[in-house]
Amino acid sequence: MMNKKSIIVLVILLVCFLGCTEQADNNGRQKEGSEKILIELLGDSISVKREGLVSTIEYCPDNTCESFSTSTQNPSQKLTDFVYIYLFFVSDYNALADFKNKTGNKYISEIIKRNSEGCVGKSDREMAKCILKLLANRYSIKIKFVRYDENRRNEVGIDLKAQLNQLK
């Protein structure tokens, strides 16, 4: 027969387990929402992969891509938000014109707001520069330019600081 202490310990463990399970579900729903929005807006040009310890989102409108990666241990929404802000403000793909001028406007303010801690700026563009720097540093986000030549994948690292310096 169980004593009172054993029952209390079991109840505490059960509450912790249920709380952790609920948190994982909420995180999963949140992740799906962010990724889902990006995929809805950019279609087949966006791919999301998790292989081993690396999460990668690639934007590939043609035989070239911008690839963004971080550890799977980091919150996936932070990578998704980084990609969204980067594509909206920094990327120079012509295929993003509609995203930048119409469809992407719907969510950019919300994404900037939820990532603005530690950033002060007057315009969304100033905030975006700060947020991109912070997210890249905090979550070790790497950016690469990818080109497919004769079925070979060639990758070159992108210097975020240089890209942001060009941003007016």
- Cβ distance 85 to 131 under 8 Å? yes
pLDDT of residue 5: 55
pLDDT of residue 121: 79
How would residue 18 be classed by pLDDT, with cut points 50, 70 and 90? very low
CA distances from 160 to 67, 135, 150 (A): 12, 11, 28
How would residue 64 be classed by pLDDT, with cut points 50, 70 and 90? very high
pLDDT of residue 166: 81
72 pLDDT more than 80: yes
pLDDT of residue 30: 42
pLDDT of residue 150: 87
Give me the mean pLDDT over the 139-151 stretch: 93
26 pLDDT more than 60: no
- Tens digit of pLDDT for each residue in 90-118? 999 999 999 999 999 999 999 999 999 99
DSSP 44-99: GGEEEEEETTEEEEEE-SSSEEEEEEEETTS-HHHHHHHHHHHHHHT---GGGHHI
pLDDT of residue 35: 86
167 pLDDT more than 60: yes
Angle between helices 124-138 and 105-114 (to 10 degrees): 60
pLDDT of residue 4: 60
Place of tokens 């399970």: 21
